[in-house]
Amino acid sequence: MLKCRAAWQKLAPLVRSSSTLCRKSAKQTVLKCESSFRPTQRASMSSGPPGGSSDNLLYYLLVGGTVIGGGVYAYSTLHGDKVRYQERIAEIVSRQNKELTPTELQPTEKGEGGSEKETAPPSEAPPVETEQPPLEAVESAPETVPRPEVPPHAPYLLIGGGTASFAAARSIRARDPGARVLIVSEEAELPYMRPPLSKELWFSDDPNVNETLRFKQWNGKERSIYFQPPSFYVSPQDLPYVENGGVAVLNRKKVVHMDVRENKVRLDDGSEISYEKCLIATGGSPRNLQAIERAGEEVIKRTTLFRKIEDFKSLEKISKDVKSITIIGGGFMGSELACALGRRARESGLEVNQLFPEGGNMGKVLPEYLSNWTTDKVKTEGVNVLTDSVVKSVSYQDDKLEIKLKDGRVVKTDHIVAAVGLEPNVELAKSAGLEVDSDFGGFRVNAELQARSNIWVAGDAACFYDIRLGRRRVEHHDHAVVSGRLAGENMSGANKPYWHQSMFWSDLGPDVGYEAIGIVDSSLPTVGVFAKATAKDTPKAAAEESGTGIRSENETEAVASGASESTKTPSSPQVPQQGEDYGKGVIFYLRDNVVVGIILWNVFNRMPIARKIIKDGEEHTDLNEVAKLFNIHED
């Protein structure tokens, strides 16, 4: 069709000129005829004198020549155009071939990612294509092609190698047969769980716990903090080729740039990975005190920001070498570490201090009376607790760290552990064009944990919409598992919102612990219903009965085995000890008369009831009646 048009366009001027010529000639003929009738001569065409048959011959020759000339011209123009067009196409194709040849060296198992590249409009000459070939061309030998360390494409790309990422990987593999999942982690470790780093690992009898990272659960069963041993994973090089897919972990690589339009990321070593579905599970980094940051090198190198395995290893070693450790921060991690170190202190004589601005341990979580009770408990674990303490400055003098508080007190110590909160890692928001929440921090996602079309966020870094409790960001292990699993489900085709409420727990030494769910903020009005504690009401007993060391796994394992009922042996009430007013009970946190959070205080294996109450979101007039549902006097 174009040919016709082009042809017509070329021919049009010719046609016009030839038609004019024809008309001219016609006029001539007419005039000639006319003139032949008129005796008088008239000034007619300037083109040659009118004549007889010789003129007609000339006329025919002229017209014929014009037509032939026009035809020749038209043909040559069209032909030239055609040749030019073909040359152009050939050039474009050859350019495409040049780009494709290096990537074609990989077998075609790339799937949709590969075809995506081939169908990309060639005229735009995407610069990305030219960046890859040099990398791969350098590595490829003429005959055999060694597989690149970083696979160029991963159908499922998970950024971050923590709990949420692993839970998502598991979910994707369960739902999408043969899925190929690539986890990119900054750390040198395979995915592991964090809670034992501040709890169980410290209570281990094994002198080599630093190396093995195995902990004995209360029931005697040992397990590693790693979710799975190395044999579970496929190597990143082999990920595109293994028959049934798998999960690969790329360690010591950081994603520094995300191109959402092209569906690809760039790592810190320059390599690029394209994806179809991406999960951001970058977690967070521990915050530090300004007083420490500006205190100089000597102070900074004697400060631990506790989060990773390497932090545990170093602190474990330090706890044997120094005489005094001070923990700054009175939240979950600070208090757990304080209790863990306090326990160690009994054998080694280590001085353990803990200081924080609140009035008691877990001051932002527990109502005041319970926070005070907890602080006393922490003190009995061997910790020197300083409440209402705000750090003014820290300095290094006489081989000791000096912490000056705003009220004038001075604490001299050898090592500091700063447990003052977590800053979500949202550096990718800029390049990816993702929204960051200003109230809670973290990437803003919807109820299905989606940030944009192919991007989900889970774990500590996700600020998500909880249908029941509103927008929030949760920094607990079980939330990482639940949200990671949900993100994995949604990445593999589901469309489920955040609905299964995650829980969290904390142990203050082996004798006291609690489980909690929902919004547990001490600024909310609370109603606490308590009974007396007996010997059976300890975290130790709870774990022994259920057979697991990680409490969030209690419920999930129960689903399969048919809910192992806890044995109901009658518990003898203990003689009430001094200060043991809050032995065990349930605390309800209320917002507009609706229960939004529940703490089970030394009461275990009742989480499903608590979850149900929060899910219902009803206004209960008498919370004592609700508390009856928990059977707090039973085991």
Nearer to other proteins, 218 or 601 (CB): 601
For 247, the 3-state DSSP assignment is: strand
Residue with tokens 């025919």: 60
User: Among 65, 301, 499, 521, which residue sits at the site for other proteins (rule: CB under 8 A)?
Assistant: 499
Total residues contacting other proteins (rule CB under 8 A)?
Answer: 59
Residue 497 touches other proteins, criterion: CB under 8 A = yes
User: How far from each other are the two terminal CA atoms of the chain, in whole angstroms?
Assistant: 86
Residues from 466 through 495 that contact other proteins (CB under 8 A): 485, 488-489
Buried b (16+ CB within 10 A) or exposed e, 2-36: eeeeeeeebbeebeeebeeeeeebeebeeebeeee
User: Among 413, 502, 526, 534, which residue sits at the site for other proteins (rule: CB under 8 A)?
Assistant: 526
Residues 6+ apart with CB under 8 A from 4: none
Structure tokens given for 490 = 């949604």
Q: Which stretch binds other proteins (CB under 8 A): 71-79, 89-97, 166-174, 435-443?
A: 166-174
User: Among 400, 471, 540, 633, which residue sits at the site for other proteins (rule: CB under 8 A)?
Assistant: 633
Closest CA to 28 of 1, 63, 4, 2: 63
What is the smallest separation between the CB atom of 628 and other proteins, expressed in angstroms?
4
What is the smallest separation between the CB atom of 499 and other proteins, expressed in angstroms?
4
User: Among 40, 397, 561, 578, which residue sits at the site for other proteins (rule: CB under 8 A)?
Assistant: 561
What is the smallest separation between the CB atom of 220 and other proteins, expressed in angstroms?
14
Structure tokens given for 163 = 């709990």
Residues from 310 through 369 that contact other proteins (CB under 8 A): 367-369
What's the rounded Cα separation, in Å, for the pair 327 and 403?
11
Residue 299 touches other proteins, criterion: CB under 8 A = no
User: Among 234, 417, 461, 603, which residue sits at the site for other proteins (rule: CB under 8 A)?
Assistant: 234
Q: Which stretch binds other proteins (CB under 8 A): 121-129, 274-282, 598-606, 616-624?
A: 616-624
Nearer to other proteins, 324 or 361 (CB): 361
For 243, the 3-state DSSP assignment is: coil
Q: Which stretch binds other proteins (CB under 8 A): 26-34, 91-99, 168-176, 266-274?
A: 168-176
Residue 229 touches other proteins, criterion: CB under 8 A = yes
Residue 556 touches other proteins, criterion: CB under 8 A = yes
Give the DSSP letter string of 286-334.
E---HHHHTT-HHHHTTEEE--SHHHHHHHHHHHHH-SEEEEE--SHHH
What is the smallest separation between the CB atom of 521 and other proteins, expressed in angstroms?
12
For 132, the 3-state DSSP assignment is: helix
Residue 570 touches other proteins, criterion: CB under 8 A = no
Nearer to other proteins, 259 or 553 (CB): 553
What's the rounded Cα separation, in Å, for the pair 413 and 455?
46
What is the smallest separation between the CB atom of 230 and other proteins, expressed in angstroms?
8
- What DSSP element (H or E) covers 27? helix 2-37
User: Among 87, 91, 104, 616, which residue sits at the site for other proteins (rule: CB under 8 A)?
Assistant: 616
Residue 528 touches other proteins, criterion: CB under 8 A = yes
What's the rounded Cα separation, in Å, for the pair 355 and 351?
13
* CA-based torsion, 186, 191, 195, 201: positive or negative: negative
Nearer to other proteins, 13 or 617 (CB): 617
Binding mask 404-443 for other proteins (x = CB under 8 A): ----------------------------------------
Buried b (16+ CB within 10 A) or exposed e, 295-318: beeebbebbbbbbbbebbbebbee
Q: How many CA atoms lie within 13 A of 617 on its CB side?
A: 10
Nearer to other proteins, 350 or 627 (CB): 627
272-280 and 391-397 beta bridge pairing: unpaired
Residue 239 touches other proteins, criterion: CB under 8 A = no
Applying CB under 8 A, the residues found at the interface with other proteins are 169-171, 173-175, 177-178, 227-232, 234, 244, 246-247, 367-369, 485, 488-489, 496-497, 499-500, 524-531, 553, 556-557, 559-561, 581, 612-613, 616, 618, 620, 622-629, 631-633
